Amino acid sequence: MRRLCSHLLLTPWGLEPRRVVRVSEEGRVVAVEEVPDGAALDSLPGVEFFPGILMPAMLNAHCHLELSGLRGTIPAGCGFEGFVEAMKAAPREGGEAVAKAWDAKMWAEGVGRVWDVCNGTSTFATKVASRIEYHNFIEFFGIGRQPDMSFHTTPHSLYAVDPAAFTRLAEAARGPLSVHFMESAFEVADPAARLVAQTPPEREMILVHNCLVTQRDIDIVMGHFTGPVTWVVCPRSNRHISGLQPPLDLLRRNRLTIRVGTDSLASNDTLSLVDELRLLDAPLAEMLGWVAADRIAPGRTPGIVNLTGVDLRTLTLTENARTKRII
């Protein structure tokens, strides 16, 4: 049994001060206890103290681990069309060792789950051996070998898949679709109308990027789907490629389900979710809720992560903010 304490604990109700989490050998949360007034947090007997915040392990809601070998090869500011051209020309071989190293880094930083997009099999061995729980979105059928892991097939986007094929994929899907959506103006006309025309309403949707989404698009999408819709933002990737940013306030005002992804290392130089959050402007407890994969509550095994480099007075992330897995 370990007893862990920090300045603040991310609970399902927000950031709470003066809490000790008791965790079993198997990583199960046994109890969350209040620290009596007056007791110094960093010298409680039998309790390990971590400055900053304790939170659950995190979800990276959009990644392409197989592109990790492309880190640093596509210059910033190339624009969306330039990025697409560079990706077509980029080598796809030999990235296995790099992907394995980034998988290990994500685990150490406290990522517990990844919604990862794949077009090939190069990362499967890494993922099968990884302690991170990967959910794979396979963008094409003709992949040859199915992974011995959780996966679904998905169309990449409305612009990369022709309408008939998109509709077939959307209708045949047995799980959520993860679709690159409204990342740039270089896409189809009226993507929201196209999406709802081509996708059954009961389908669970993960919409990725959303930079150009307006209230009208949100109304069209939310008016159509009866299954859950998750709106994923990848601000560092957008900054690298186009300089656009997702309309975070609009998404928040509509009380949409927001998640955060790093996208691939072809358009990012880290797979750190805290680095993504530093570009977003919203209350810290809310943002941490977007990246928490589970919740710290008795009976659950959420993993425990220490976030340091937080200005505890203003509850903002400093330049030095980083996460480290404790459990």
Which one, 280 or 297, has the nearer CB to Zn ion?
A: 280
Which one, 217 or 263, has the nearer CB to Zn ion?
A: 263
Three-state SS at 8: strand
Nearest distance, CB of residue 209 and Zn ion, angstroms: 8
Residue type for 80, please? F
* Contact criterion met (CB below 8 Å) for 233 and 246: yes
* Contact criterion met (CB below 8 Å) for 40 and 87: no
* Contact criterion met (CB below 8 Å) for 114 and 271: no
Nearest distance, CB of residue 117 and Zn ion, angstroms: 6
CA distance 284 to 302: 19
Which one, 87 or 193, has the nearer CB to Zn ion?
A: 87
Which one, 261 or 302, has the nearer CB to Zn ion?
A: 261
Nearest distance, CB of residue 156 and Zn ion, angstroms: 8
Nearest distance, CB of residue 62 and Zn ion, angstroms: 6
Q: Phi and psi of 8, rounded to 5°? A: -140, 150
Which one, 5 or 118, has the nearer CB to Zn ion?
A: 118
Which one, 263 or 276, has the nearer CB to Zn ion?
A: 263
Nearest distance, CB of residue 134 and Zn ion, angstroms: 15
Q: Which has the closest alpha carbon to 170: 151, 191, 154?
A: 154
Nearest distance, CB of residue 281 and Zn ion, angstroms: 23
Which one, 50 or 102, has the nearer CB to Zn ion?
A: 102
Which one, 6 or 60, has the nearer CB to Zn ion?
A: 60
* Contact criterion met (CB below 8 Å) for 5 and 304: no
CA distance 319 to 270: 14
Nearest distance, CB of residue 232 and Zn ion, angstroms: 9
Q: Which residue is nearest to Zn ion (CB)?
A: 263
Nearest distance, CB of residue 208 and Zn ion, angstroms: 6
Angle of CA points 295, 308, 249, to nearest 5°: 65
The 10 Å Cβ neighbour count of residue 63 is 25
- Interface with Zn ion by CB under 5 A: which residues? 263
H helical segments located in the chain: 79-89, 96-109, 124-129, 163-172, 191-198, 215-224, 235-241, 248-253, 273-277, 284-291
In Å, what is the CA distance from 76 to each residue of 73, 80, 177, 323?
Answer: 10, 10, 28, 26
